Structure 1
Amino acid sequence: MSTAPPATAPPRARSSFPLSALTVMACTGFLVITTETLPAGLLPQLAAGLNVSEGGAGQLVSAYALGTVLAAIPAISLTREVRRRPLLLAGLFGFLVANAVTALAPSLAVALSARFIAGAFSGLLWGMLAGYARRIAAPRHTGRALAVAMAGTPVALSVGTPLGTWLGSAVGWRWSFTAMSLLAAVIMAAARVLVPDVAGQRTMTRLPLTRVLRLPGVGTILTVVLVWMLAHNLLYTYIAPYLREARITLRPDLALIVFGLAALAGIWITGLFIDRALRTLTLASVTLFAVAGAVLMAIQGSLIAALVAIVVWGIAFGGAATHLQTAMSEATGENADVGNSMLTTSFNLAIFGGSALGALVIEDVGAAMLPAGVIALALLALVIVSCGRRAAFPRDR
């Protein structure tokens, strides 16, 4: 039997809301998401710099996602007993190295390898961050703590990726990845000072992976993740062709900035109510997805209607990760890191699926029909959430 101390945070860390530590975790999420999405805004520069086609350069996104899908569950399973702060620092160091190698890559093969490694460390960090954030906060604030820790995602989408794209366009794509490497170093230094350490999971509380998967509610939550995020990525990935074919005079980058800012509002709302109204928030968010899709489908050609729909979509998405990770953490208890590694894998499968399904829709019926897919998938997710009232999304407190 392991002699590791119980997996609890130091009393001082729980005496007040650990905003500084959670901000560092939010910055970690910002780093992870910006690193993931950065190539999408720099495809012409990457293609020219690596002497490949834009399609070849686009594989830098796929390599990252593949690394996350393949590494998330094994990485968390193998590190369940490791103390959390050293593991966080190791993950950040992985991003420092991977982004540095990408910045210096002499060929596409080297860049793809570095991106795959970055994706693997992404799987590690996403798998542990939710449980870590909840454990350093007082029990009554665990949901709020998770909302703050996840705030880096919408900030990355609304600010990080556009800023990285601007930097790469102004001074070269290699400097964008260099900046990501330097940011990783800064976050590492802050984490050493501001983030309290907690023990890893005790051996006596560890369940095998298959038993975690069979815990009540886990399968339902993973299905909701896949369906709901498939709805999101179906439209998010192909927002540019949708706006063009729907005759909406809005630049894609501006649309995504509006989306990201609205997502911050969604995070704020989630932080206020997540600790006592998980089920209501999740049902409301999924419903808003369907509403946004309906507006985009019904009133094409209207800039105002499109902006309203994008704001609604952003608010609904802003709290989604917190809703789902809270549900998974409560369903899996002390095995939350493993549960959230499964959730991370499901998220990235949805990214793959959204890209593939969206391509089929665009080719067969046109990008203007993408909101129809959003509506159908959101309604399916709504039914699944509604049916998960016992274990996955229990009644509010």
Structure 2
Amino acid sequence: MVTTTATPPTGTRSSLLPLVVLSLCGFTSVTTELLPSGLLTRIAADLGTGIAGAGSLTSVYAAAIVLTVLPLTRFTLRVPRRVLFAAILSVFAAANVLVALSPTLPIAITGRVLAGVAHGLLWATMAPMVGRITSPARAPRAMAIVFAGTSLGLAAGTPLGTLLGQALGWRVAFLILGGVSAVLAVFAFLTIPKVSPDTKRPLSLARAARLPGVGLIIGGWAVMLLAHFAVLTYIAPFLEHAGLGDMVGAGLAILGIAGLAGVALAGRVPRRALFAGLLAAPTLIVAGLLGLGVLPVNLTAAVVLLSVWGAGYAAAAVFDQQVVLVVGHEAPDTVTSLSVVAIQLGIALGAALGGLTVEALGVAWIPVTGATFAAVSVALRMRLRRYLPRHHTPTTHRI
């Protein structure tokens, strides 16, 4: 990996457009990941399978990420970034079209596996790219721009895709998503800056994982995702239990909209206050989930507590990714790929934990379980202070 001290672009025009494109890449990937959830019954009926069979379109997506992101990240280290991003988005386009045209479930699963492979590689390489096209001082706002796409995918992309699927058919929704991905592939190739390919042997996975602070931030992020998805996976039955079954769709939108606000706030936190933000954001998750679990939940309380939870979650993701790049600056792509694997495992374990909570304690206890693990995430982060000096500025890497 070539390490340079060249100054990143100082003008906002030179770096804003690729950041917006990267944000749209995040939007597309999140929408692709979550779209089957809103159209599951229609997909199952059309493909001649049950709900569980159609649900495999989501599980194989996550499995593909976990199994391929580490080797693919290392294999593509020497590929110019603009070429790589264009290729990733082209795979997204082909995968979504394949799903849309699938006559049977196995073919649809093949398309979802391809999309999962592209998703993992995209997120393993996107955040390090942000660090290469912006200066350290602008990193918080740049990361906020990119992560806004994730929240927008949850707040608007998935609901809009679901509405399109319900009105025009689920295949049309996937075709449109494939077309958007193809257009983005062209924009990525035209806007992502030309940067040199890797010419230095990268750190091994084991050495990258042992870099000071890497295990703490990746572990803290994974536990936060575990807490988040333990509750999110069962948010519908929880709200129904609270007598708010009619606001399930609105509740998901509130999480996404509040997430956009959280991302915007995180982008305004100066780099010297990174540690404070790293602790404050997941503390909001604890507060929101604990409130849902122990307070009487009416419509007003639900809106407020969901907003606190959603803002904290989205902001925490921005801070976590910044810290990953700081402590893992010797091998940003490898460390980020490790975080992607940990995140997917956290999501899977979170869904399982939510199910166990429902079986053992009842649906009312799900937010309390989530709040407990979110507090564990805060505790892990508290040990990161030593690795985040106030004026730390990692060397810029270009690959």
Range of TM-score over shorter length: over 0.9
2:47 equivalent to 1:50: yes
Displacement of 1:200 in angstroms is: 3.1
The amino acid of 1:88's aligned partner reads F
Q: Distance in 2 between matches of 1:349 and 1:394?
A: 30
Aligned to 2:36: 39
Displacement of 1:361 in angstroms is: 1.2
2:254 equivalent to 1:258: yes
TM-score, length-normalised on structure 1? 0.94
Q: 1:260 to 1:331 in 2, by over 3 A?
A: same
Match of 2:293 among 283, 291, 297: 297
Aligned to 1:129: 126
2:148 equivalent to 1:176: no
**8 Å CA contact retained: 1:9, 1:136:** no
Aligned to 2:70: 73
Match of 1:269 among 262, 265, 270: 265
**8 Å CA contact retained: 1:389, 1:395:** no
CA deviations on 1:158-180 (whole Å, 9 max, x unpaired) are: 10000000011111111111011
Aligned to 2:113: 116
In the TM superposition, 1:163-242 aligns within 5 A as 163-203=160-200, 206-242=202-238
Q: Distance in 2 between matches of 1:10 and 1:167?
A: 45
CA RMSD of aligned residues (A): 1.8
Displacement of 1:55 in angstroms is: 1.3
Q: Distance in 2 between matches of 1:331 and 1:54?
A: 43
2:95 equivalent to 1:98: yes
Q: Distance in 2 between matches of 1:276 and 1:74?
A: 34
Q: Distance in 2 between matches of 1:57 and 1:220?
A: 36
2:295 equivalent to 1:312: no
Q: 1:9 to 1:124 in 2, by over 3 A?
A: farther
User: What runs of 5+ residues in structure 2 fail to find an aligned partner?
Assistant: 393-399
Q: Distance in 1 between matches of 2:51 and 2:222?
A: 28
Displacement of 1:302 in angstroms is: 1.3
The amino acid of 1:215's aligned partner reads L
How many residue pairs get aligned? The number is: 391
Displacement of 1:199 in angstroms is: 2.1
Q: 1:274 to 1:343 in 2, by over 3 A?
A: farther
Aligned to 2:149: 152
**8 Å CA contact retained: 2:39, 2:170:** yes
Q: Distance in 1 between matches of 2:32 and 2:245?
A: 29
The amino acid of 2:356's aligned partner reads L
Displacement of 1:379 in angstroms is: 1.2
Q: Distance in 1 between matches of 2:317 and 2:97?
A: 29
SS for the counterpart of 1:202 is coil
SS for the counterpart of 1:151 is helix
2:24 equivalent to 1:27: yes
CA deviations on 1:261-302 (whole Å, 9 max, x unpaired) are: 110000101111152321111110111111111210122341
Aligned to 1:385: 381
**8 Å CA contact retained: 1:134, 1:142:** yes
CA deviations on 1:44-79 (whole Å, 9 max, x unpaired) are: 101011111111101100011111111111111111
The amino acid of 1:122's aligned partner reads H
Q: Distance in 1 between matches of 2:245 and 2:121?
A: 40
Displacement of 1:195 in angstroms is: 2.2
**8 Å CA contact retained: 1:159, 1:257:** yes
**8 Å CA contact retained: 2:258, 2:307:** yes
Displacement of 1:42 in angstroms is: 0.4
CA deviations on 1:3-27 (whole Å, 9 max, x unpaired) are: x97567786x444361111000000
Match of 2:56 among 34, 54, 59: 59
Q: Distance in 1 between matches of 2:37 and 2:333?
A: 29
> Identity rate of aligned residues, in percent?
37
Q: Distance in 1 between matches of 2:183 and 2:266?
A: 28
Q: 1:396 to 1:265 in 2, by over 3 A?
A: farther
Displacement of 1:395 in angstroms is: 5.2
SS for the counterpart of 2:208 is helix
2:343 equivalent to 1:336: no
